[in-house]
């Protein structure tokens, strides 16, 4: 993280949610459209600034009652997001640092009612893969490789959440992927 981003993160108490950037604000939109940068692997474990940021981001996700949030949505352009594991008991929140999509289904579906914390009061149907092979590091720096499936709100849509949040790190919004 840059010194400016660390200052932004430290402006609030560890239990205080951060302000979610909105597409309706010109400066916010510039940040949301910017491609994020990787966090060096050696800076993940035992990094107090990063751990502080993860806690504040978690608090923001709780406050907003979302299923995922990416660092750029609070003004920090690093490759990090949180996503709710709808495919696991008790729906834990997973930290994904420097995530990659390493493979995906050939089939794409129209995921119904995609929405975003940065685009309030709007939802739409977005083009998504039915499964994705992913790799990322957790908050301890451990490498995780797995296949995330699920594409229906009736069951599990963990794979969709991952794709949505991954897009944020590329400066892409779900409105860029709306079905015809």
Active-site option among 43, 112, 139, 165: 165
Residue with tokens 């107090």: 48
Query: For the chain, what is the mean pLDDT?
Result: 94
- Is residue 165 annotated as part of the catalytic site, yes or no? yes
User: What's the half-sphere exposure (Cβ side, CA atoms, 13 Å) at 88?
Assistant: 9
Residue range 32-60, pLDDT digits in tens: 999 999 999 888 988 999 999 999 999 99
State mean pLDDT over 87-97: 94
Residue range 58-76, pLDDT digits in tens: 999 999 999 999 999 999 9
State mean pLDDT over 4-10: 92
Is the predicted pLDDT of residue 153 greater than 90, yes or no?
A: no
What is the CATH classification number for the domain harbouring 97?
Answer: 3.90.45.10
R_g over Cα of the chain: 15
Task: Give the model's pLDDT for residue 2.
Answer: 87
**Position 151 confidence tier, pLDDT thresholds 50, 70, 90:** confident
Q: Could you give the number of structural domains in the chain?
A: 1
State mean pLDDT over 90-105: 96
Is the predicted pLDDT of residue 152 greater than 90, yes or no?
A: no
Domain range for 135 is: 3-177
Exposure string of 3-38, with b = 16+ CB inside 10 Å and e = fewer, is eebeebbeeeeeeebbebbebeeeebeebbeeebee
Report the greatest alpha carbon distance in the chain: 46
State mean pLDDT over 91-105: 97
Q: Are 86 and 150 in contact (CB under 8 A)?
A: yes
């Amino acid at each position: 993280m840059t010194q400016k981003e660390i200052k932004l993160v430290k402006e609030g108490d560890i239990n205080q949610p951060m302000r979610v950037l909105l597409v309706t604000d010109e400066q916010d939109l510039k940040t949301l459209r910017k491609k994020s940068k990787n966090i060096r692997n050696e800076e993940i474990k035992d990094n107090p600034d990063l751990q502080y940021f993860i806690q504040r981001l978690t608090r923001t996700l709780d406050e907003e009652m979302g299923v995922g949030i990416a660092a750029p949505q609070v003004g920090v352009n690093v490759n990090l997001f949180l996503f709710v594991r709808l495919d696991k008991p008790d729906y834990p929140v997973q930290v994904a640092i420097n995530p990659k999509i390493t493979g995906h289904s050939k089939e794409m579906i129209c995921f119904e009612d995609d929405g975003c914390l940065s685009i309030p009061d709007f939802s739409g149907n977005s083009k998504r893969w039915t499964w994705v092979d992913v790799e990322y590091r957790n908050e301890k720096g451990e490498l995780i490789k797995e296949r995330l499936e699920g594409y229906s709100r009736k069951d599990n849509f963990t794979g969709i959440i991952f794709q949505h949040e991954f897009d944020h790190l590329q400066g892409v919004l779900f409105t860029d992927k709306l079905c015809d």
